[in-house]
Amino acid sequence: MAKKRPQTKARRPQTTGHAPAAGAEGDVPVVGAREQCPCGSGRRYKACHGRAAAHAVTELVQRPFEGLPGECDWVALRELVPAATVTLTLKEGLPEGVPSVELATVLPMAWPALRRDDGTVLLGLQNDTPSGDISRDLADTLKRALAAEPGTPVEGRRAPADTPRLQDLLDADAPFEPVVHDGFEFWVPDAENATPDVTASLERANAAAIPTVKLAGVESAYWCETPEKNHLRWVMPHAEERLLDALARLHAAGTSGLGEGTRLVGSFRAHGLTVPVWDLPSGVSADDVEKPAAEFAERLSAALAVTGPLTPEERRARGGLTNRQVTLS
């Protein structure tokens, strides 16, 4: 599993109630925190319109990847998958000198982004972000990477509140197709010329990576291997309460498993989506679970269509699943 990050607490933007002299609030220029606010209130900017701007960038966005193609896979790559890449398509096309833009789970030295010598841009997904809107922070990093000199990394920063989000930069009609890797060799196209720091970072990352495979027959389900048992972690787009009801119906009926020796053990909550998790025997491979997962998807679809109240047995099953739910973000 990718490294767990501390949760960002939601904070609501606050306003002072003063009407800006220049018209709409968005027309108030940005000035130094200790300067008088240009709206004419007589207050310092940090205590007036600067407060709303500062709080806007720290407010937690519950579903930062909502509206992007492959939202469930964005969540999986952010929280669950060690090594993967995806080719991103920009709405306005690639700038001159940038042959491609690749999303990567992790980059060497934990860089937020990197522009390679050939102009290719790599955007890291699993870095800590300074505000409550991961999408805005990533978009800001991407824009700076597109303009960076070839051969240079891009440092992280807090994105200004009025900057675009990924939803503004990426083509919503383009496919989002993750490629899961066995390790992080994609970092170094020319391994012989890699710096010692990058080589050491690559070795550490490869040693810590959990073998992971994306299932082909269902959306956003990832098998992984650990020393004691294997797991299937499946990011689902359904509303949480509706999904938990459906899982409880299947669990109470004894049909929530993925075959002999498997067990639905609980779920993660990550970026506004729910991620059911199954324990699998160590001998069960990703190929072995493809057919059972497809069959489970059909059972789940039928359970999601049921709208009546839960039976007592189903309520108990739901309580057990809820008690074993862990919030990642």
One pLDDT digit (tens) per residue for the chain, 329 residues: 444 443 333 333 333 333 333 333 445 665 555 677 888 887 776 677 666 555 545 578 999 999 999 999 999 999 999 999 999 999 999 999 999 999 999 998 899 999 999 999 999 999 988 889 999 999 999 999 999 999 999 998 888 888 999 999 999 999 999 999 999 999 887 767 778 888 888 899 899 899 999 999 999 999 999 988 999 999 999 999 999 999 999 999 999 999 999 999 999 999 999 999 999 999 999 999 999 999 999 999 999 999 999 999 999 999 999 998 888 77
- DSSP of 13-49: -----PPPTTSSGGGSPP--TTSBPTTSSSSBGGGTH
Domain locations in the chain? 71-206, 212-327
> How far is CA 247 from its chain centroid?
23
Task: Determine the CATH number of domain 212-327.
Answer: 3.30.1460
SS3 271: coil
pTM of the complete model: 0.82
- How far, in Å, CA of 254 to CA of 180, rounded? 32
Q: Is the dihedral of CA 104, 106, 112, 117 positive or negative?
A: negative
Count CB atoms within 10 A of the CB of residue 11: 14
Q: Closest Cα partner for 56 from 94, 26, 89, 21? A: 26
SS3 123: strand
H helix intervals, the chain: 49-56, 71-79, 134-147, 166-169, 196-208, 240-252, 286-304, 312-323
CB 249 within 8 A of CB 306: yes
